[in-house]
């Protein structure tokens, strides 16, 4: 239990709040990414994103990080792989896939992350799931498919794999693996784990940023766009990842992973509010599907 003034909040409810906050920030990230197109080159943005997050961690938790250095060193092999795959790899692949595949395909493939996490949780952690829970995941995926196709199911008939689709398949496998890896038993605190994976994401993507620079493709942002970069660092990178790591520790990867399907819903909402895009009927139906699926998944989880 967590006490906030005179209220007591269960670990599960606290995890729900953290996951909603996480997916709101990830939804914002989709809008921020669109606003950054053409204003800052992709790998420069990736490196600045994780370097900025690392600086924030040092500023706010420097003493704790220094105290945890021995345990960070002891687990660095594991956390380097986790950060490289889940933060660095996923973020980089999802951007480059957009060059050779459609937004419809990206949305549909990304909607498979909860299913990957669920299968991995059953296989590696022997997580018990019911048929109704599987049905709940299926409903959330249908909601993602609906919002990805903009309500035109006929678009599914044109779905075909190309280089970008394959990159996206690798990307969602990476993030699913990252989510499962957060469950691994270790002696790392949440802050120690977070600073380790962020440092790993920065180091592992830095060679690509250097290559971007020497190939003459680096685009430096104008002064007004550094504020946008700051928002990307603060919300989708810093605060969201802290919330997500904490939620996985509280309720596990399978239950946390299903909330990822809220991301395209929030992304659509913020696109309407910030980018003045129209809100369509299918987005409302998608939201109903996703929320219903999450409710079913949580309501009918096995009692252990």
Question: Phi/psi zone of residue 156: left (φ > 0), alpha (ψ -120 to 50 degrees), beta?
Answer: alpha
The answer to whether residues 128 and 275 touch, using CB atoms and an 8 Å cutoff, is no
The residue with greater pLDDT, 115 or 170, is 170
Share of the chain above pLDDT 90, in %: 37
Whether pLDDT at 92 is above 50: yes
Q: What is the residue whose two structure tokens read 């370097």? A: 51
Quick check: 109 and 172 in contact, CB under 8 A?
A: yes
pLDDT band at 205 (very low <50, low <70, confident <90, very high): very high
Contact between 179 and 112 under an 8 Å Cβ cutoff? The reply is: no
Distance between CA atoms of residues 159 and 217, nearest Å: 31
Q: Tell me the per-residue pLDDT of 148-202, one tens digit each, with 9 for 90 and over.
A: 666 776 766 766 656 777 888 888 899 999 989 987 767 888 899 999 999 999 9
Q: How many whole angstroms separate alpha carbon 200 and alpha carbon 202?
A: 5
First to last CA, the chain: 19
Alpha helices, DSSP H only, in 68-162?
69-74, 76-83, 90-97, 103-110, 113-125, 131-148
Residue with tokens 């994976």: 197
5-31 burial, b for 16+ CB within 10 Å, e for fewer? eeeeeeeeebbbebbebbbbbbbbbbb
Residue for token pair 């022997």: 126
Confidence of residue 116 (pLDDT cuts 50, 70, 90): confident
The rounded percent of the chain whose pLDDT value lies above 70 is 87
Phi, psi at residue 2, to the nearest 5°? Answer: -120, 130
Asked whether the whole model's pTM tops 0.85, one would answer no
Grade residue 4 by pLDDT with cuts at 50, 70 and 90. very low
- Res 5: pLDDT: 42
- Rounded to 5 degrees, φ, ψ at 205 are -95, -15
| Residue 48 scores a pLDDT above 70 | yes
Mean pLDDT confidence for 40-45: 89
What are the strands, taking DSSP E only, across the chain? Answer: 2-4, 7-9
Residue, of 142 and 201, whose pLDDT is higher: 201
pLDDT average, residue stretch 103-109:
62
Average pLDDT over residues 2-15: 65
Take residue 145 and report the two structure tokens written for it: 């498919």
Domain extent listing, the chain: 2-299
């Amino acid at each position: 239990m967590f006490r906030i003034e005179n209220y007591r909040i269960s670990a599960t409810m606290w995890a729900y709040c953290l996951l909603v906050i996480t997916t709101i920030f990830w939804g914002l990230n989709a809008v921020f990414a669109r606003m950054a197109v053409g204003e800052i080159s992709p790998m420069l943005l990736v490196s600045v994103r994780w370097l900025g997050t690392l600086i924030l961690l040092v500023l706010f938790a420097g003493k704790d990080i220094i105290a945890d250095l021995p345990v960070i060193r002891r687990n660095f092999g594991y956390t380097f792989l986790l950060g490289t795959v889940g933060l660095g790899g996923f973020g980089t692949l999802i951007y480059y896939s957009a060059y050779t595949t459609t937004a419809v395909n990206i949305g549909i493939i990304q909607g498979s992350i909860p299913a990957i996490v669920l299968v991995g949780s059953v296989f590696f952690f022997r997580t018990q799931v019911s048929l109704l829970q599987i049905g709940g995941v299926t409903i959330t995926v249908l909601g993602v498919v609906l919002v990805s196709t903009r309500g035109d199911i006929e678009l599914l008939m044109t779905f075909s794999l190309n280089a970008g689709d394959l990159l996206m398949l690798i990307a969602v496998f990476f993030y699913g693996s990252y989510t499962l890896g957060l469950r691994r038993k270790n002696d790392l605190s949440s802050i120690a784990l977070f600073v380790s994976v962020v440092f790993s994401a920065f180091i592992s993507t830095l060679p690509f940023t250097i290559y971007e620079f020497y190939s003459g493709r680096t685009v430096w942002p104008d002064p007004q766009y550094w504020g946008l970069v700051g928002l990307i660092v603060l919300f989708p990178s810093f605060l969201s990842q802290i919330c997500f790591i904490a939620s996985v520790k509280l309720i596990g990867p399978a239950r946390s992973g299903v909330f990822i399907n809220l991301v395209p819903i929030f992304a659509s909402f913020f696109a309407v509010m910030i980018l003045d895009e129209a809100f369509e009927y299918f987005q409302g139906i998608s939201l109903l599907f996703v929320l219903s699926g999450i409710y079913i998944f949580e309501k009918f989880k096995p009692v252990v």
